[in-house]
Structure 1
């Protein structure tokens, strides 16, 4: 089998699903020789000033060896620059972020700020630094995230479950959080692989680790609240090419005979900016739309089970290559749930927030979909969905029965009846065959 670094996969039919925030690509770039200008004994990197993007919309990725840094002064500070209009830090490729970190590239951006790839001069390793916008509410949220990250790090023996915080500091009114450098997210891997699903045995390993991470957080009285493939990162960027037998009979396009699979199944959770302690207020809306539990939509309040619903949606997506509920509106979302999982239980409908009950249900009982404002596109999107068992059997060649039973526990409407993380880990889907199927953890 061919082994190589992820640079770019062919991707078409790009997913246009609305997301809560832009996703980050934490891919490790291929090593390239740095551009150098020689001045005496020093090698100086030309500065490339960055606000949001360069002129062509691409920020170059350059991997630097520690040898390069030994020839560069480490204590120089970049000139002070005002933040942009949205409070983002304005930086230049090659300059310092404090004397310890040198900026290599821009990796991503979200509502919180930016993520930069940097070289840690002290530890001589590449890290990812989240630079939070210089706005009060985002600075406050960042300090809460740091508290959660440090709590997780204290208890995560072996550093196997969640992304590790290396350091944090306040730089020119920006909270900066330093993380270990990981590979791409499961969503980015799917996207760059033309949304070709993962084999069921690999999904099993991802699911096992994801549930272990969720159980670990719940044991610490923490609820992630934003589980989704974008927030699950592969530890390594390495992948292998394998024949894609499902496509062999349908296409002759170059490259379609093969699909890419991660060389290692090791994953870690990221993005704890929305993580909530059990004792905090749980009245507001949480989770990215596609992974949002019914109790959140109905205004019934939420707790640990909302994470398990998200896990169920993620496992279906990893098996099929597509989000289970591709929707952007609450009523349509509930209609999709009923199409896949059956009618909502009456006890949940009765307890729903009165404003929502009037909006979503007819006479307080039956879901009011479709209504006069429902588009043909929405109706097609709902009616094309199969029942959960049929959906899984379309994509899973073996272990389908065990996976369906597990998903029926994870996607149970009533959160009080939903399977818990540690119970799910004891499910036959994970315990029936102890072999690792060639995917080292």
Structure 2
């Protein structure tokens, strides 16, 4: 983070000209319709998932057959053990480690055949994770067949089974929205950028729902910027007062283009639904109350994400169900009685005699009480961070964060909301 003071213009004035960012420009024309490309890999050739029997000389495309490193055992948790610079099959050279999760690791690799940098998800050599990876490949194949413009979801390039690890090859994208916020000291995005990001998230969710798919794990970590490029701009919230570290600048993405990732938890509508889905902070109330869930749980997550983007902080920062429900009531008001009365037996303990939330009596600590009481109601929260468009944004979020999933906005309905329809675009956005 750059720490020098601004000397180019007075402290109480904004610059006469600002750099034009991609998301300041009018929306681009839709891409021309083209036939889906045929991707490398056996699974794309026959249109289905088959047992991948590798290696063969055709797959290697002329590269040395025995270019892989010597075999070594996995670590105690089933993760693939590697060294930077060695090969992952003769085709892919490992450049760096990009991340790690419960599923396995993501490595940045160079594709010797295509001469491009890719991201490879290497799944742990444990049966349940291998099975989940095969389901994810099925989902990814369905998405790539229908996403003609390739603008909504991360693109699968290939997949293979390597030393008992399912490996999924993706296009290389930029940082996640969460990583961008974190590295930018959790400084919020301007509302005009939130509008462009929100529009794309909802378009992606609508696309998945049209295919009868439910993502179930939408969060800023699973939304990636297409480009890593950013631009440093003055942070006017800090210009009127002195800061300890002199951080008068913040970074903004140069382009708002994003894509959804991580379809390991994606569920087909006709599949059996597990009891609990979604990462805690973005989990819908019907999931916590055990009322069953469907497509609307994704829209609740979108609402939480939008709040985080314009405020810089997660809306519900909690790790416990009762506190989570109390936070919801603090921000959104009391739960509808019909939802409370239908709550699953596992959720009955959160209510007094099945009627009112057992709060604050059920609080586990004073810190928990403070965490709930410091939250403002939704309109006040929005107006703390947003100047223009606040009214439309409040109305949109009240529709996305509606307790009853039957009354919650769908992705298509949200896209038709005035927040996205009205022309709020300005040449200079408020920072």
Pairwise TM-score range, normalised by the shorter structure = 0.7 to 0.9
User: What is the CA distance between 1:253 and its match in structure 2?
Assistant: 4.2
- For 2:320, the equivalent position in structure 1 comes to 329
- For 2:15, the equivalent position in structure 1 comes to none
SS in 1 for 2:409: coil
Q: Is the 8 A contact 1:224 1:276 kept in 2?
A: yes
Give the Cα separation in 1 of the matches to 2:210 and 2:114: 32
- For 1:65, the equivalent position in structure 2 comes to none
Give the Cα separation in 2 of the matches to 1:313 and 1:322: 10
Q: Which residue of 227, 230, 246 maps to 2:218?
A: 227
Judged with a 3 Å threshold, the aligned counterparts in structure 2 of structure 1 residues 235 and 74 are, in CA distance, closer, same or farther, namely: farther
CA deviation vs aligned residue, 1:92-111 (integer Å, no higher than 9, x gap): 11111111101111111100
Q: Which residue of 113, 117, 121 maps to 2:112?
A: 121
SS in 2 for 1:93: coil
SS in 1 for 2:196: helix
- For 1:97, the equivalent position in structure 2 comes to 88
User: What is the CA distance between 1:363 and its match in structure 2?
Assistant: 1.0
Q: Which shifted more, 397-406 or 348-357?
A: 348-357
TM-score relative to the length of structure 2: 0.83
Structure 2 unmatched ranges of 5 or more: 4-62
Judged with a 3 Å threshold, the aligned counterparts in structure 2 of structure 1 residues 9 and 356 are, in CA distance, closer, same or farther, namely: farther
Q: Which residue of 81, 84, 91 maps to 2:75?
A: 84
Give the alignment of 1:59-70 within 5 angstroms: none
User: What is the CA distance between 1:248 and its match in structure 2?
Assistant: 1.3
Give the Cα separation in 2 of the matches to 1:400 and 1:260: 23
- For 1:391, the equivalent position in structure 2 comes to 381
CA RMSD of aligned residues (A): 1.7
CA deviation vs aligned residue, 1:301-337 (integer Å, no higher than 9, x gap): 0000000000000000001000000000000000000
Structure 1 unmatched ranges of 5 or more: 1-7, 11-71
User: What is the CA distance between 1:249 and its match in structure 2?
Assistant: 1.9
Residue correspondences, number: 370
Residue 406 in 1 paired to residue 364 in 2?
no
Give the Cα separation in 2 of the matches to 1:332 and 1:431: 36
Q: Which residue of 351, 355, 368 maps to 1:365?
A: 355
- For 2:406, the equivalent position in structure 1 comes to 416
CA deviation vs aligned residue, 1:272-321 (integer Å, no higher than 9, x gap): 00000001112410000000000000000000000000000000000100
Give the Cα separation in 2 of the matches to 1:393 and 1:265: 23
TM-score relative to the length of structure 1: 0.82
Q: Which residue of 219, 224, 228 maps to 1:237?
A: 228
Give the Cα separation in 2 of the matches to 1:103 and 1:374: 47
Give the alignment of 1:52-63 within 5 angstroms: none
User: What is the CA distance between 1:391 and its match in structure 2?
Assistant: 0.2
Q: Which residue of 252, 256, 268 maps to 1:261?
A: 252
- For 1:433, the equivalent position in structure 2 comes to 423
